Amino acid sequence: MKILASRQFPGPAWDELEDVDYYHGPLAGPRPDIEALAVVGEAIDDRTLELFPNLRLVANYGVGYDGIDVAACAARGVAVTNTPGVLDAATADLTLALILATRRRVVEGDAFVRSGRWGTDWASTTLLAQEVTGATLGIVGLGRIGMAVARRARGFDMRLLYTKRERLSEAEERELGVEYRLLDDLLREADIVTIHVPLTSETELHLDERRLGLLSDGACFVNTARGAIVDEEALARELVAGRIRAGLDVFTDEPGVPPELLELPNVVLTPHLGSATRETREAMTRVLVGNLQAAEAGRTLPNPVYPS
Ligand code: NAP
């Protein structure tokens, strides 16, 4: 099975594949020889699929597959797979890192030290921050990563609110120590809000100007899911006004970042690092390769995704 990949993926599993071509820049064709694409973040739409008349699989490196038109793939009999599960811990860890860095003003403190200002004496309020331990955390999307965040947050004695379309059973809520809220109520009540829903037609701009306005003054907003779930301009306005704080790993038009955010002390920015540890990226390659090998052997695909 000939595979066309957008890059060489990290880790030893990648070398198990025998017949791989690479492309740089936009996908060009026609390529009737290609039966599988290995991609990450690249847009795969109906026009792209037209270039690959014998395609059987689009294998995505990552759990979020919002760049792929899954319905168009299904209409052409092309399967789509992703790499869920193996990146939950790394993404949840980064979420906690952003919560801690944002609430405790870690990056501001770092800048103070580097510029020789120091900035705090015991009576100074300059770098006084907001407590993390005991805060109320609102988790928007309690799936694999949201749950991993909840487990970590319990170590900080946080009160945990969550929202999703299908509410958990009372027994599950009790066991996880989480309380259900409608999204708007969660936004009003939480000290910290963290986003873990996928980007879909339903969740695009889900956090719009009105909803961001529901966040309490001084709230901390963290996004390690997808930038386009949030109205980024409205978020930037709230941050420029200094009403809230934010820790952001994802942006609407990556690698673009709203320029007004770059100078703000109340925002911590990372370049889509959620799954970016060596161990996790290699594990993702293992899962990606597993899907490609299953397609080649005609076996059931381990991680298929379907049109929603
Ligand atoms: P998941 O297990 O599918 O969980 C998604 C959660 O969102 C579920 O609880 C789901 O519950 C909820 N949800 C879906 N649509 C919703 C809606 N319209 N309203 C409210 N809740 C909704 O996904 P995951 O593996 O945790 O990954 C979540 C996302 O994180 C991925 O899609 C990806 O975009 C992002 N991610 C980013 C990075 C990074 O590097 N920053 C790394 C990994 C993942 P219901 O179905 O009950 O609504």
User: What pLDDT score does 124 carry?
Assistant: 87
Percentage above 70 pLDDT, the chain: 100
Taking CB atoms and a 6 Å cutoff, what residues make up the pocket around ligand 1?
63-64, 84, 87, 91, 141-146, 164-166, 196-199, 202-203, 224-226, 249-250, 272, 274-275
- In this predicted model, what pLDDT tens digit does every residue of 66-88 receive, in sequence order? 999 999 999 999 999 999 999 99
Per-residue pLDDT for 11 more than 90? yes
Query: Residue 54 and residue 3: Cα distance in Å, rounded?
Result: 11
In this prediction, residue 26 has a pLDDT band, given cuts at 50, 70 and 90, of: confident
Task: Provide the whole-model pTM.
Answer: 0.98
Query: Residue 294 and residue 272: Cα distance in Å, rounded?
Result: 29
User: What pLDDT score does 271 carry?
Assistant: 98
Active-site residue identified among 131, 202, 209, 254: 254
Nearest CA to ligand 1 atom 22: 164
Query: Residue 56 and residue 291: Cα distance in Å, rounded?
Result: 12
In this prediction, residue 151 has a pLDDT band, given cuts at 50, 70 and 90, of: very high
- Write down the CATH number for the domain with range 3-86+277-305: 3.40.50.720
Nearest CA to ligand 1 atom 33: 64
- In this predicted model, what pLDDT tens digit does every residue of 97-107 receive, in sequence order? 999 999 999 99
Probe target for ligand 1 pocket from 165, 201, 275, with the most ligand atoms within 8 Å of CB: 165
**226 catalytic, yes or no?**
yes
In ligand 1, which atom is closest to the CA atom of 141?
7
- In this predicted model, what pLDDT tens digit does every residue of 110-145 receive, in sequence order? 999 999 998 778 888 899 999 999 999 999 999 999
C-beta of residue 224 within 8 angstroms of C-beta of residue 271: no
Arithmetic mean of pLDDT, 270-289: 98
Nearest CA to ligand 1 atom 25: 144
C-beta of residue 64 within 8 angstroms of C-beta of residue 198: yes
Query: Residue 267 and residue 186: Cα distance in Å, rounded?
Result: 21
Is there a cis peptide before residue 26, judged by omega within 30 degrees of 0?
Answer: no
C-beta of residue 215 within 8 angstroms of C-beta of residue 221: yes
Query: Residue 297 and residue 52: Cα distance in Å, rounded?
Result: 20
Question: Over the chain, what is the mean pLDDT?
Answer: 97
One of 3.40.50.720, 3.90.1150.10, 3.40.50.150, 3.40.50.2020 is the CATH number of 88-269, namely 3.40.50.720
User: What pLDDT score does 196 carry?
Assistant: 98
User: What pLDDT score does 218 carry?
Assistant: 98
- In this predicted model, what pLDDT tens digit does every residue of 204-232 receive, in sequence order? 999 999 999 999 999 999 999 999 999 99
User: What pLDDT score does 118 carry?
Assistant: 86
CA of 198 to the centre of ligand 1 (A): 4
C-beta of residue 106 within 8 angstroms of C-beta of residue 100: yes
Q: Where are the domains of the chain?
A: 3-86+277-305, 88-269
In this prediction, residue 169 has a pLDDT band, given cuts at 50, 70 and 90, of: very high
Domains 3-86+277-305 and 88-269 are alike in CATH topology:
yes
User: What pLDDT score does 279 carry?
Assistant: 98
Probe target for ligand 1 pocket from 197, 205, 308, with the most ligand atoms within 8 Å of CB: 197
Arithmetic mean of pLDDT, 233-255: 98
Q: CB-based burial of residue 140 (10 Å sphere; 0-12 exposed, 13-18 middle, 19+ buried)? A: buried
**272 catalytic, yes or no?**
yes
Arithmetic mean of pLDDT, 29-39: 95
User: What pLDDT score does 113 carry?
Assistant: 95
Query: Residue 133 and residue 196: Cα distance in Å, rounded?
Result: 21
